[in-house]
Amino acid sequence: MIRIELDEPTLSRTRIAISPLGELVCGLYLLRRHAEAPWPYTSWAVRAREVLRTEPATAPLALYFQLPSRSPDFLDPVPETALPTFAEQLDRLRATPAEVIAEQFATYHPDGDLPEFLRPFRDDRQAALDRLAGGLAANQRWQGTLEMIMLAPRRPVLVVLPITAATALTGTYALLATLLWGRLIYGIRLDFAHPLRFLAAALACVAGLGMFGLLLASTFVLIRNANALANPLDYPIWLLSGMLVPVSVLPS
């Protein structure tokens, strides 16, 4: 566990941001430091090394394997927003001003003796930045993660809400279709003695099942095989609702 203690003035000046580009750069540093990456990155490292070795478009990324421990920040810029996309960060990398590069070179290499792999950023800034951004994008594309990164990060509600809405619409269709063919094919009539009470009970049932679903959802986060726990919990609901046996045969 890592514990960081901050006083109030420092905390008020602190912000947290997610950086897809930073994660990619850290992954390259991991490959540089470890001949065999530790678990759980072992299989990813094998694939990443294969991509870097066989895909010419990723050649500019060799830069990150040559950087010293202290290197210019423009090669891994700090996010300007809390939730930047990978594309936004690549655009920002490409648009790094010449004066920013010159200032950082003067800070990290005050003697003016730039390593060979950094000189293109001084001599032909835009071409060097474009090659680097292209290499970063190509690395993710060949690993099969570019599509996911281009979609992330997004607010969880934007991901979960369409899935939830689709599930709800599917369930509503199944309910209405069952009532319809029950009436047309089997002649089942719906006769509510107390329609308003039925509506209130139906809404309460939907709310209760929704809360029960949230409870089950939490187990999927904590337990890998939570479906083995969820299935037994579903059966009492099916039994009491009359899906397995008619309600009339249940004990009163």
* DSSP track, 41-76: SHHHHHHHHHHHHH-GGGGGGGGGGT--SS--GGGS
Residue ranges of alpha helices (H) inside the chain are: 8-12, 20-33, 42-54, 86-94, 98-108, 119-123, 125-143, 146-151, 156-184, 195-222, 227-240
Residue 241, token pair as written in the block = 């609702």
> Is there a domain that residue 236 lies in?
yes
* Domain match, 143 and 234 both: no
Q: 40 is in which domain, residue-wise?
A: 16-151
Work out how many domains the chain is built from and give that number: 2
Helix, strand or coil for residue 245? coil
* Domain match, 78 and 196 both: no
> Measured at the alpha carbon of residue 156, what is the angle toward residues 154 and 160, in degrees to the nearest 5?
120
> Is there a domain that residue 5 lies in?
no
Distances (CA, A) of 58 to 11, 62, 137: 39, 8, 8
Task: Tell me which residue of 63, 65, 61 sits closest to 116, measured CA to CA.
Answer: 63
Give the C-alpha separation, 138 to 146, whole Å: 8
* Domain match, 141 and 162 both: no
* Domain match, 126 and 75 both: yes
> Is there a domain that residue 224 lies in?
yes
Q: Which of 130, 151, 172 is the last residue of a domain?
A: 151
Low-confidence ranges of the chain (pLDDT < 50): 147, 150-153
Task: Tell me which residue of 15, 18, 22, 23 sits closest to 93, measured CA to CA.
Answer: 22
> Is there a domain that residue 1 lies in?
no
- Cβ–Cβ < 8 Å for 93, 87: no
pLDDT the model gives residue 147: 46
> Is there a domain that residue 6 lies in?
no
* Domain match, 102 and 166 both: no
Give the C-alpha separation, 164 to 66, whole Å: 47
pLDDT the model gives residue 224: 59
- Cβ–Cβ < 8 Å for 42, 77: no
pLDDT the model gives residue 97: 92
Q: Which of 115, 134, 151 is the last residue of a domain?
A: 151
pLDDT the model gives residue 102: 93
> Is there a domain that residue 82 lies in?
yes
> Is there a domain that residue 27 lies in?
yes
* Domain match, 162 and 94 both: no
* Domain match, 190 and 177 both: yes
* Domain match, 213 and 242 both: yes
* Domain match, 60 and 116 both: yes
pLDDT the model gives residue 170: 83
pLDDT the model gives residue 244: 81
Residue 165, token pair as written in the block = 């809405």
- Cβ–Cβ < 8 Å for 230, 219: yes
| CB under 8 A, 24+ apart: contacts of 209-216 | 209/237, 212/237
Q: Which of 128, 151, 174 is the last residue of a domain?
A: 151
> Is there a domain that residue 186 lies in?
yes
